Amino acid sequence: MAATFVIAQGGGPTAVINQTMVGAVIEIQKRHPDARILGARHGVRGIRDGDYVELSDVPEEQLRRVGTTPGAALGSTRDKPDAAYCELVFAGLKKVGADAFIYIGGNDTAGTQQILADASGGSIAFVHAPKTIDNDLVENDHTPGFISAGEFVAGAFLSVDLDFRALPGVYVGIVMGRHAGFLTAAAAAWRDDEDSGPHLLYVPERAFSVPRFINDVRATLGRYKRCIVAVSEGVSTADGKSLVESIVPPDRLERDAHGNLKLSGGDLGLAFEHALRDGLPGTRARVDALGYMPRGYIGAINDTDSHEAFNAGAFAVEAAAQGGGSVALQFDGNKTVMKLVPLSAVAGKTRHMPDDFLKPDINELSDKGIAYLNRLVPGKYQVGKPFV
């Protein structure tokens, strides 16, 4: 009997999550010409509701075009199945006779696969293929989606720095990143000398304090006449509370099914505006949230990222043949290699940015942090030095 593969996408879309889906589908079409390939719409929700798109016979050319398109072409979900939901998903997989389920997403998605695998008793191969702009999966050197997002962020801060050389002031750019500061750190990837912005980085791994922030900005203004700041939306105060929690009244906090706080709202930006107005009165200050641009801007899709994402999808098919697990992108000292690791090694765990990626007492990249980011997000533009 021909094999049946179910494939789905979970969590926030990225610039290259479609490459992973397409990489898997093309690999299945090659390895198993008779296989049935079902794309579940909106992640596990599609399996629960029996909402599928037949991918078995979609021509490679059409698939490759979807691969180069950002977003999640199967739709996504933030549903986190509990036991009852899981039973429905499991029943859904049985109903279509699934032999393998490949779920592309971050650590929450790996967690869902872990629960399903535990419940299935081995009758179906559950594979997690990695995806996250946050770069926060353990067992991975980096994750598909991070390089494109990092490149967007590096370019954004390079550009804003040039803007603020012309019209000096303080700029605060808020970058997605709940628990891990990698993407915010990428803001400094293309900083080419002491004078270049971003001058200050604030990441979730280090406690944030408003007075310290104001002092840092004041000192930077004194030195460079402008101050470019990159800050993670997930920065927390010393008591471990996210800054958003200390700003927004509890009854207005919004959470998803995973209990994740909504961080991308305007309250955080306004709080920075007010802190700067009060702490540095009369100083021109602008606060932007980069928002959704880094995770899927069609003009900043990195080739290496696309390639690796595609390969991760293809490798997920091999992982299914081996009984399931989580696909991990590791670095062998020379190049990125795909490894299969147990779901339990990745599920629900968060990889933080190593503390020594930043200098000890300054919110600035260390040599180690620079080396890591330069390897993943190498310089792309030759900038003509301004005359100011």
By CB under 8 A, residue 141 contacts a copy of itself: no
Smallest gap, in angstroms, from Cβ of residue 59 to a copy of itself? Answer: 11
Segment contacting a copy of itself by CB under 8 A, of 71-79, 100-108, 129-137, 307-315? 71-79
Rounded Cα distance, 57 and 212, in Å: 58
Q: How does strand 324-331 pair with strand 125-130?
A: parallel
Encoded amino acid at 63, one letter: L
Rounded Cα distance, 6 and 267, in Å: 40
Segment contacting a copy of itself by CB under 8 A, of 156-164, 205-213, 231-239, 371-379? 156-164
> Using CB under 8 A, which of 5, 6, 67, 217 touches a copy of itself?
67
17 is in an annotated binding site: no
Rg of the chain, C-alpha, whole Å: 22
* 134 is annotated as an active-site residue: yes
By CB under 8 A, residue 152 contacts a copy of itself: yes
Residue 156: both structure tokens together: 């954004």
By CB under 8 A, residue 185 contacts a copy of itself: no
By CB under 8 A, residue 313 contacts a copy of itself: no
By CB under 8 A, residue 158 contacts a copy of itself: yes
Smallest gap, in angstroms, from Cβ of residue 247 to a copy of itself? Answer: 11
Of 268 and 319, nearer to a copy of itself (C-beta) is 268
Q: Please list, in sequence order, all residues whose beta carbon lies within 8 angstroms of the beta carbon of residue 82, skipping any fewer than 6 positions away.
A: none
134 is in an annotated binding site: yes
Of 216 and 233, nearer to a copy of itself (C-beta) is 233
φ/ψ of 63, rounded to 5, equals -60, -45
By CB under 8 A, residue 300 contacts a copy of itself: yes
Give residues 89-108 in contact with a copy of itself (rule: CB under 8 A): none
By CB under 8 A, residue 246 contacts a copy of itself: no
Residue 78: both structure tokens together: 């933030």
Active-site option among 79, 99, 108, 134? 134
DSSP-derived secondary structure for 24-83 = HHHHHHHH-TT-EEEEETTTHHHHHHT-EEE-TT--HHHHHHHHTS-S-TT--------H
Task: With beta carbons less than 8 A apart as the criterion, state whether 9 and 43 touch.
Answer: yes
21 is in an annotated binding site: no
Segment contacting a copy of itself by CB under 8 A, of 107-115, 163-171, 197-205, 363-371? 163-171
Task: With beta carbons less than 8 A apart as the criterion, state whether 327 and 319 touch.
Answer: yes
Residue 105: both structure tokens together: 């997403």
The size of the chain, in residues, is 388
By CB under 8 A, residue 198 contacts a copy of itself: no
177 is in an annotated binding site: yes
Q: Please list, in sequence order, all residues whose beta carbon lies within 8 angstroms of the beta carbon of residue 313, skipping any fewer than 6 positions away.
A: 19, 20, 21, 22, 23, 24, 25, 26, 27, 102, 104, 129
CA neighbor of 9 nearest in space, from 257, 313, 291, 258: 313
Q: What is the DSSP secondary structure assignment for residue 384, as one 8-state letter?
A: P
By CB under 8 A, residue 30 contacts a copy of itself: no
> Using CB under 8 A, which of 1, 83, 84, 167 touches a copy of itself?
167
Rounded Cα distance, 137 and 345, in Å: 10
For the chain, the maximum distance between any two Cα atoms, rounded to a whole number of angstroms, is 74
By CB under 8 A, residue 159 contacts a copy of itself: yes
> Using CB under 8 A, which of 69, 209, 237, 350 touches a copy of itself?
69
Binding residues for diphosphate: 12
The catalytic residue positions are 134
Interface positions with a copy of itself (CB under 8 A): 9, 12-13, 18, 39, 41-42, 53, 55, 62-78, 151-152, 155-156, 158-160, 162-163, 165-167, 171, 264-267, 269-270, 273, 286-293, 295-300, 381-388
